[in-house]
């Protein structure tokens, strides 16, 4: 039988929760979000050494206590020892998204993108990250936000901006070059520009975009009200995304539209391979300021993973 209750267990990062939420929706379960924080010395210990995982929870963390759920979907290193502790305490099914940094056999199933280089009987490999973008959500987003962006000319270029993290840096020169290329598209191609920053986007980067695109047919979400993210994905003729976010790049590729990736300073062996695989598959191209047209079959990783879990667990 299908699980009656489900917890999504993460450290509260938007990208991690989005992956878990997408899988829960594909499984047809209504999850409870458990956002956890940790205290010393667990914050400096590898998760495989968390022998008393529940003791790691810091003040302000959501508490983990009975009644236990039927299913735990976890994502991120911090969720690994806690999900396994819940499994030992209750027998709940556990599904972890991303490389768990422990033997995957400890979980009932592990879902990893191919760039994680993980294999096993209970490992499900995806091309890109698991996410919640579906054709229905894209259609709903386009319908809801169509009137708000009707004033922008076509082609409409949606721009998804991330920010600096431990591996990549979104520097002022990179933002300036991006803004100038977008401005050239507006002036020379008559394109409309619609930009949605993320929580990690520095205010200085947003200000550069505002100044360089002033007086042009461009929209920049100011963080107030609902995020037009799904509307932009549904309405756009082309999508530009910064390379720091696996989730945003995967969601952009789910549209089947041309996806351009903005290269940042820094590197990561795993994430660089992720981007290279998408380029090799013909889904993405580097953003040089030109607009081209190409087609590809968008990956359906979330639906595939959910179907495989249902088959393995005997869920209808």
Describe the crossing of helices 246-253 and 14-27 by its angle, rounded to 10 degrees.
Answer: 40
272 Cβ contact list (under 8 Å, min separation 6): none
In a domain? residue 112:
yes
Q: pLDDT value at position 49?
A: 76
- Distance separating the N- and C-terminal Cα atoms of the chain: 7
Average pLDDT, the chain: 94
Asked if 107 and 226 sit in the same domain, the reply is no
Asked if 213 and 156 sit in the same domain, the reply is yes
Could you tell me the CATH number of the domain that includes residue 309?
Answer: 3.40.50
In a domain? residue 295:
no
Could you tell me where the DSSP H helices lie in 169-300? 172-188, 203-212, 229-235, 246-253, 269-280
Could you tell me where the DSSP H helices lie in the chain? 14-27, 79-90, 135-145, 172-188, 203-212, 229-235, 246-253, 269-280, 301-313
Nearest to 128 by CA among 18, 16, 246, 39: 246
Give the number of domains in the chain: 2
Cβ–Cβ under 8 Å, residues 92 and 74: no
Asked if 191 and 114 sit in the same domain, the reply is no
User: Does the predicted TM-score (pTM) go above 0.85?
Assistant: yes
Q: pLDDT value at position 270?
A: 87
In a domain? residue 291:
no
Asked if 66 and 19 sit in the same domain, the reply is yes
160 Cβ contact list (under 8 Å, min separation 6): 196, 198, 229, 232, 239, 240, 241, 242, 245, 248, 252
Asked if 95 and 169 sit in the same domain, the reply is no
In a domain? residue 294:
no
Q: pLDDT value at position 278?
A: 96
Q: pLDDT value at position 168?
A: 94
Asked if 97 and 179 sit in the same domain, the reply is no
Asked if 163 and 85 sit in the same domain, the reply is no
Asked if 75 and 161 sit in the same domain, the reply is no
Could you tell me the CATH number of the domain that includes residue 180?
Answer: 3.40.50.2000
The residue to which tokens 């997408």 are assigned: 22
In a domain? residue 173:
yes
In a domain? residue 257:
yes
**Ranges of residues in the chain whose predicted pLDDT is under 50:** none
- Cis bond before residue 155 (omega within 30° of 0): yes
44 Cβ contact list (under 8 Å, min separation 6): none
Helix, strand, coil in percent for the chain, rounding step 5: 40, 20, 40
Asked if 10 and 70 sit in the same domain, the reply is yes
Q: pLDDT value at position 43?
A: 85
Asked if 168 and 80 sit in the same domain, the reply is no
Asked if 108 and 175 sit in the same domain, the reply is no
Cβ–Cβ under 8 Å, residues 89 and 65: no
Domain span at residue 51? 6-127+302-313
């Amino acid at each position: 039988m299908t699980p009656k209750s489900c917890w999504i267990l993460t450290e509260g990062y938007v990208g991690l929760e989005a992956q878990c939420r997408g899988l829960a929706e594909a499984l047809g379960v209504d999850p409870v979000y458990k956002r956890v924080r940790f205290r010393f010395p667990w914050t400096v210990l590898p998760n495989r050494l968390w022998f008393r995982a529940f003791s790691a929870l810091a003040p302000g963390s959501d508490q983990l206590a009975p009644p236990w759920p039927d299913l735990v979907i976890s994502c991120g290193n911090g969720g690994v020892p806690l999900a396994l502790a819940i499994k030992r305490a209750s027998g709940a099914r556990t599904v972890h998204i991303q490389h768990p940094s422990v033997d995957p056999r400890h979980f009932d199933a592990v879902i990893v993108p191919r760039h994680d280089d993980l294999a096993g009987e209970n490992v499900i490999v995806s091309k890109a990250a698991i996410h919640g973008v579906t054709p229905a959500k894209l259609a709903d987003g386009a319908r809801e936000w169509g009137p708000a962006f009707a004033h922008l000319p076509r082609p409409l270029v949606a721009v998804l901006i991330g920010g600096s993290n431990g591996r990549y840096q979104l520097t002022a020169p990179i933002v300036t070059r991006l803004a100038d290329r977008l401005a050239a598209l507006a002036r020379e191609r008559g394109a409309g520009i619609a930009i949605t920053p993320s929580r990690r986007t520095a205010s200085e980067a947003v200000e550069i975009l505002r100044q360089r695109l002033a007086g042009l047919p461009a929209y920049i979400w100011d963080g107030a009200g609902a995020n037009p993210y799904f509307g932009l994905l549904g309405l756009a003729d082309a999508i530009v995304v910064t390379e720091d976010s696996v989730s945003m790049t995967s969601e952009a590729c789910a549209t089947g539209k041309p996806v351009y990736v903005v290269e940042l300073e820094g590197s990561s062996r795993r994430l660089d391979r992720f981007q290279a695989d998408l380029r090799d598959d013909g889904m993405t191209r580097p953003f040089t300021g030109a607009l081209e047209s190409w087609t590809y079959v968008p990956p359906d990783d979330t639906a595939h993973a959910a179907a495989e879990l249902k088959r393995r667990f005997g869920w209808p």
